[in-house]
Amino acid sequence: MSTSNVTFYERVEDALGNDTLQTALDRTTTALRNNRNNAIGSLPEAEALRDHARKIRAHTIANLDKYLIQFVENVEKMGGTVFFAADAEEANDYILKLAAEKEVKTVVKSKSMVSEELEIREEMEERGIHVVETDLGEYIIQVADEKPSHLIAPAIHQTRESVAELFQKELGATDEEIDSVANMTDFARRQMRRDFMSADMGITGCNFAVAETGGITLVMNEGNGRLSTTTPPIHVVTMGMERIVPTVEDLGVMLQILARSATGQKISVYSNLVTGPRRPHEPDGADEYHVVIIDNGRSNLLGGELAEILYCIRCGACLNACPVYQSVGGHAYGSVYPGPVGAVVTPGLYGVDPWSELPNASSLCGACEEVCPVRINIPRMLLKLREEVNEKGHNPAWLTGGLKMYAFAAQRPGLFKFGGRMSGIATNIIGKDGWIKRLPGPLSAWTDHRDFPTFAKKSFSQRWKEERGS
C-alpha cells in the first residue's frame, strides 16, 4: 500500500470544499447510522450477543495458528489449494502465475477490501487481463478510476446525480437509462452480464472462513458474489489471515451482528457459503478453488497492544459514527482502510512512519467503540499510536514544544497556577462573550472552522476557596 505525496491535511481541505462529497456523506452516513441503530435496537438481547461475538473474536485471534491449520486441512480435504502469502507481492505473484498458467483473459471480481489492499486488479490490468468489478459500488469507482472510500459502500462519495453523469459520459448511457437509481442499476447489470458468462477466473474476498468446515462465507446484497464463484472455472479467494471463526455456530453469531451493524438489515440478501471446488455430481461451481491467505503485516500485531484491531469484522459502523469521517470521507485518509478502524489498521500494518497523521484523525469521542459490534476499544489504540508518533518525532515542532512546556509547568504547582491565571486573563481580553473567533499561527486550524472557548476567569480551586473559605 503506497502513500500519497499529498498530506492528510491537504486532502482534508479538498474534502471539506467538495460540495458533492459533503452532500453524499450527509445522505449516506446518516441513513446507515439510523438503520444500524434501529436494527440493533430490534435485536433481542443485542448487548449480550455483542459480548458473545467479542469473546469469539478474542478467542479466535488468541488461537489463530490452531484455527488456520484446521481450516487449511479441511480446504485440502475438499480438493482446494491454499497458499500463505507473507505480503502483497507474494499474494499477487501467486495469482498472476496462476492466471498465466491457465491463460486467463477475463476476470470477474466481487467486492474485497483485501484485494484492494493487494491492488490485484491493477496488477492484472497491467498484464493485459480484462478485470471487471461486479459489486455495483466497486463498478462505479472502477469506471470513475477512483479508490473505494468506505468499507461497505465504496462509492459513498458519489451522489446519484454524479453517477448518472459518469455513466452517460464514460459508458454512453441514454437519458432513460440514467433517469432513476433502478434504471442505472439495470444498465450496470447489463454491462456486467456478458463478462460473467465469459470469465476465466473469479476473484472474491472472504467475510469469514470457518475452521471446522474449510468453507468461506461471502456476505452481500447483490448476486455478483454467487456468479463470481460459480460461473468461472477458477475461483480465487483473497483472505486476510484473521478473517476466520472456529465453527458454523460461531459464524451464525457473526452474521446476526454484521448486517445489522453494516446496513441495518437483519441479514444480508446473500450469505454464500462456499466449500471447495465443484464436485463431479454438481452442475455448477468452479473446477479449481484457491485460497490465498494474506499476512501483510497482520502477524506483527499479534500479541501486541494493537492486536484487538484484528477482531474487526469490517462492518463500517465506526465510519458512519465518526464525526471526522462524516466530514472528510474516506479518500482523505489516503489508505484502503479509512475511518477510525483505518487510523489503527494502516499504521499498525505498515508502521507509523509513513502514516503518522492518521492516529490524530480522531476526536477521541468514543463513538466508534460505542457502535462497534464486537466493542473494539479504538480510542485506546489511537492513544497508543499517538504516543509512538510522538516518540518517533513525527509531531510538528510547535506541538512537541508546547507539550514539553505544559509538562514542565504541570510538575510545578506554583507555575501551573500562575499560568492558569494568566491564560484566563489573556483569553478573556481577546475573546468576546466567552468565545475566541481567531487564534494565531497553527492554532488557527481550530478557529478556521469553530470558535474556541475562553478560559474561566477564576479557576476551580480559587472559587472553592472563596466559597468554602479554605
CATH number at residue 108: 3.40.50.10420
pLDDT (mean) for 9-31: 92
Last residue in a domain, options 282, 299, 316: 299
Residue 326 covered by a domain? no
pLDDT tens string 122-149: 999 999 999 999 999 999 999 999 999 9
E strands, 57-212, are 81-85, 106-109, 130-133, 201-204, 208-210
What's the per-residue H, E or C state across 4-67? CCCCHHHHHHHHHCCHHHHHHHHHHHHHHHHHHHHHHHCCCCHHHHHHHHHHHHHHHHHCHHHH
Q: How many domains are contained in the chain?
A: 2
Residue 373 covered by a domain? no
Does residue 286 sit in the same domain as residue 429? no
Does residue 294 sit in the same domain as residue 441? no
| Residues 163/247, Cβ–Cβ less than 8 Å | no
Does residue 292 sit in the same domain as residue 414? no
Its domain, for residue 439, covers: 397-468
| Residue 218, pLDDT score | 95
The model's pTM is: 0.89
Residue 120 covered by a domain? yes
| Residue 194, pLDDT score | 84
Last residue in a domain, options 244, 265, 299: 299
Residue 113 covered by a domain? yes
On the question of pLDDT at 2 being above 70, the answer is no
Does residue 292 sit in the same domain as residue 428? no
Residue 392 covered by a domain? no
Q: How far apart are CA 318 and CA 330, in angstroms?
A: 12
Does residue 289 sit in the same domain as residue 431? no
| Residue 197, pLDDT score | 86
Residue 91 covered by a domain? yes
Show contacts of 157-161: CB within 8 Å, 24+ apart.
157/20, 157/21, 157/24, 157/25, 157/329, 157/330, 157/331, 158/20, 158/24, 159/20, 159/23, 159/24, 159/27, 160/184
Does residue 275 sit in the same domain as residue 421? no
pLDDT (mean) for 147-153: 94
Residue 359 covered by a domain? no
Residue 225 covered by a domain? yes
On the question of pLDDT at 402 being above 70, the answer is yes
pLDDT (mean) for 177-197: 91
Does residue 106 sit in the same domain as residue 234? yes
Q: Count helices and strands (H / E) in the chain.
A: 21, 12
| Residues 257/314, Cβ–Cβ less than 8 Å | no
